[in-house]
Structure 1
């Protein structure tokens, strides 16, 4: 069993230049060796940095504006071949026209913390033994392993994770070979072919083998390691005394990084890879989520065994096992405010684990400045900058040869900067934790107090008003669902299930209610299910929410994103998704389109007309100017709402939700793996997760605010005239009955 999750650091890493400055970091001998390396030493230690990005995170797209075209349809390919034949051109496989990249200013970038750390690892030092490799997130283009475009299978089910891990192993082998011979063992094209073949071959019985046993991981890699050994023997100078690997990962990329550690370890013989002493010096993990194959949300919402539907299929089988002995140091930063059913965290035995405030991508990065109206001050205002700084510092302490902050290029320094308002908000939040930042319930108590305060005032907040039209729609709908969920929870509390054969209790919520109550809570209310521990904990806060200090309220308003509101199970998310959908819709006959598709077609046609007018030099309306500005950065698209959900949803998710989002809502505890049990599974860390924070008496300011809130509520309350036989007694009774109870 791992130790308990550590408390959030009280102090923000600010100013960045001081926190990451040389005076505050141990002398990084590896970086100094890298900087001062000669070209032909007789002995070169190999250092490899592997950076596994998260689901739908792609550095080239998110930082550099790279766009990939939508593949041609069969009809388009036939037409292209027909034209090529007429023009006497070669009968090559038709390809879509390449697209120009989108020009992204630094303030519009949304690359993850994994990408930022990759860019801080030494570059152009391969001949001196320093090699870095970036592995883009599942669901994003990776042509070398047969994934030319974004894919829903990758985003939803982590398809493509295994080839990425195998790719990383081969690149570590390539690093050794290149350091000795100035050429790789296998080029990227062949590595990509091998990475795809691995999944088809390992675990299967090989025809013609004397022993009809499944091909093992070790046996499959044996000929490739043999080839590397032979190459090293043929060129003994420079000698390679050691290979030191550092791995970083976020989300499913974090799960890939952990799986890499296990598969790498299985190739070592006596602690050596191809005869060279090998170790994994550091594993830097941001909020590890596996969700590979059948996810935990399936088991939570359907009568299926959780032991099978736990999101740890295929290559993720080992992710919830203790880290292998070859890993020397590991740090896992866990998102304290993530709660989505589809994003259960996997705790890593053998890693130091720390709670960090925020949701999934507030920890691992991936939000851009201004998304949902948060982090309006640019890159330095992103909450994810703080865990990034902590990870950078811990990696350097462990010996990872990251470039010192003072020596990073100006553009890369921007990726690590932290603004003063963010640092101040962080410290206001950690002060409110009251020394209990190691407790999940303390973090969520503060969050629920904020949500209670914003239940009726969300749309008046500065962040809401600064959000895009789509962002406002997402936030508005999700907040309204919270109100419905609270109603359903209170109904369950007042109408517990009766243990009789004919209890006379029937469903109280119908199909129309599914638009205002999340499916998880609607079904449980109709079943009169008793409140669980988490629901009782949350409801007590919403019933009597103690006011937050204004600085803590601002922390949630301005820096913590709403991952539930912005996570779509129906509808297009990325620019590529929208572009692909637009092309699909515009190929349809108008009469074959549904109502939402007509909206897409209409805005696409208006954009085309605006473009024509601009090219013709005709004056443009403000709306046309807006459309063309949007087209410069992406694909203009109508605002999606839950009213469109039925036309956008895949039938496969109807068991999960009746809206565009998953059906769990805010009042559901995040899953924490590993679990134990078969059908009724619980986290192995249930005692830690259920630990209740200490109750503190209200401060005078909190008492005053609570009294003002009660007075305001009283002013709005309905009045009823009743007869009293004894006015003094009845008034005393009323005062006693209405005495407020505060929860802190």
Structure 2
């Protein structure tokens, strides 16, 4: 399995025994499976909250995966812990409403980690209490973690905390004296941005908005320190995957470019640890981790049409294969089962796009391959069609949003679509500028090389109409413009986001000017 590290002989024995206990023919309480404890912790993304989002069909992929997990059951020894996203209500830790500080600078991260750890330890304590009976020893604690966005960062921080309290010996690991496996981590597009996010680096190039040694954060609306602007404060200082993790799967959003959403890869420097597998998916942050409502930005008028359904289904399968006790979809009611559906239209467009993009190599190269396709498509859609197909869907989008109780998003449809078109025109101008720089003998960054290549590409004009139409429909109907939907920093669609590889940072050569359609100034 991808990302599964080599296991010791004892770990292989433990894995086989644990997987055998998932056999439905096994009866709870049989000697070989009693006190085999399964604990799965789900950290939702920033601004995502299953209690409020599920009725609106905008719940994230983490929330959807959580809903397939059996309810916590002492007899079966299977437990699920759900942690609402930063900036959203979490009454158990005293957060009763949505929080600007939580959304902006990850306030509440420490409290969420502490609560999740306390809930985890309570479940372990239950098993330890039963283990006082000599016939009921804890045979294995099986821990799985899921997370999206800052929730993925929290999942990684949680793994590090647990790993620090584990002891290695005899080919395996123990926690509080009992055998434990941290056997699976399923992550969607990790973003830390704890404290001043990497987006604040924009201000280093923008002296007009600098005030002494402080910067006014458009996210939090308060003065924040102008140093260490990398979003890795406190609990997010080190997010490298611990060695005890058996398998970590990380899905990365290729088309996410916002300054305030820097990527924390699971790569460490130039190399991937043996226990991780990272896949770059097309789409922006919430096209990979979920969270968009049907019809938002005139995209995906049905839940099953969302691009995020593809990585959702892939992660579900990876988790089940690894042994996470998620229920089989066919056993679930239509309400939950339906949220894993992928329409034939979306599946066909995804396959066509992936065949065309042929993205490969390191993340930097794969990002270039994916953004190249976006550059040529967005330039065409905005400049040559004025997004006419999206414009034709405006009324239908507003109706879908109203029907799914997303009335607060209805006024945004026309406004954001106007920014989408402006962003595409800005990309078109940026491709021309990069090509001019190339012709003048200027040295180009990877970002500029990608833009210049896009300027030279005329296949959408002179190439086969069928291939052109599929690519345009992919970006017109499936891929959102997260810059247009954010407008809280100086991000530009033609820029790239920061990327972190453990303690190593990749900072792209971006356009740092303040002008742009999504600029808040």
**TM-score normalized with structure 2 length:** 0.77
Q: 1:227 matched to which residue of 2?
A: none
- List gaps (5 residues or longer) in structure 2: 4-17, 206-212, 214-224, 268-272, 399-410, 461-466, 509-521
Query: How far did residue 435 of structure 1 move?
Result: 6.6
Residue 437 of structure 1 contacts residue 443 of structure 1 at CA under 8 Å; is this kept in 2?
no
SS where residue 452 of structure 1 aligns?
A: helix
Residue 30 of structure 1 contacts residue 399 of structure 1 at CA under 8 Å; is this kept in 2?
no
Query: How far did residue 37 of structure 1 move?
Result: 2.0
Matches within 5 A, 1:523-562: 532-542=445-455, 544-547=457-460, 549-562=468-481
**TM-score normalized with structure 1 length:** 0.55
Larger Rg: 1
Between structures 1 and 2, the one with greater strand share: 2
- List gaps (5 residues or longer) in structure 1: 4-26, 64-103, 181-230, 499-528, 570-661, 687-744
CA RMSD of aligned residues (A): 3.1
Residue 59 of structure 1 contacts residue 112 of structure 1 at CA under 8 Å; is this kept in 2?
yes
- Whole-Å Cα distance in 2 between the matches of residues 306 and 492 of structure 1? 31
Per-residue CA distance 1:468-519 (angstroms, 9 max, x = gap): 45222112134325535655775687699x9xxxxxxxxxxxxxxxxxxxxx
Matches within 5 A, 1:225-236: 231=129, 234-236=132-134
Q: 2:199 matched to which residue of 1?
A: 297
- Whole-Å Cα distance in 2 between the matches of residues 237 and 42 of structure 1? 12
Q: 1:359 to 1:169 in 2, by over 3 A?
A: same
Alignment of 1:314 onto 2:216: no
Per-residue CA distance 1:583-622 (angstroms, 9 max, x = gap): xxxxxxxxxxxxxxxxxxxxxxxxxxxxxxxxxxxxxxxx
SS where residue 277 of structure 1 aligns?
A: strand
- Whole-Å Cα distance in 2 between the matches of residues 281 and 675 of structure 1? 21
Matches within 5 A, 1:73-88: none
- Whole-Å Cα distance in 1 between the matches of residues 297 and 40 of structure 2? 33
Query: How far did residue 116 of structure 1 move?
Result: 0.8
Alignment of 1:448 onto 2:375: yes
Alignment of 1:333 onto 2:251: yes
Residue 55 of structure 1 contacts residue 252 of structure 1 at CA under 8 Å; is this kept in 2?
yes
- Whole-Å Cα distance in 1 between the matches of residues 374 and 388 of structure 2? 18
- Whole-Å Cα distance in 1 between the matches of residues 369 and 346 of structure 2? 21
Q: 1:257 matched to which residue of 2?
A: 155
SS where residue 32 of structure 1 aligns?
A: coil
Count of matched residue pairs: 438
SS where residue 279 of structure 2 aligns?
A: strand
Query: How far did residue 164 of structure 1 move?
Result: 1.1
- Whole-Å Cα distance in 2 between the matches of residues 398 and 47 of structure 1? 13
- Whole-Å Cα distance in 2 between the matches of residues 383 and 369 of structure 1? 11
Q: 1:368 matched to which residue of 2?
A: 293
Per-residue CA distance 1:429-471 (angstroms, 9 max, x = gap): 1121247487222111111111111123233114663344522
Q: 1:676 to 1:682 in 2, by over 3 A?
A: farther
- Whole-Å Cα distance in 2 between the matches of residues 461 and 355 of structure 1? 28
Query: How far did residue 176 of structure 1 move?
Result: 2.2
Q: 1:159 matched to which residue of 2?
A: 107
- Whole-Å Cα distance in 1 between the matches of residues 25 and 72 of structure 2? 10
Alignment of 1:178 onto 2:139: no
- Whole-Å Cα distance in 1 between the matches of residues 112 and 457 of structure 2? 49
Query: How far did residue 392 of structure 1 move?
Result: 0.8
Q: 1:61 matched to which residue of 2?
A: 52
- Whole-Å Cα distance in 2 between the matches of residues 551 and 389 of structure 1? 22
Q: 1:358 matched to which residue of 2?
A: 283
SS where residue 143 of structure 2 aligns?
A: strand
Q: 2:404 matched to which residue of 1?
A: none
- Whole-Å Cα distance in 1 between the matches of residues 378 and 53 of structure 2? 30
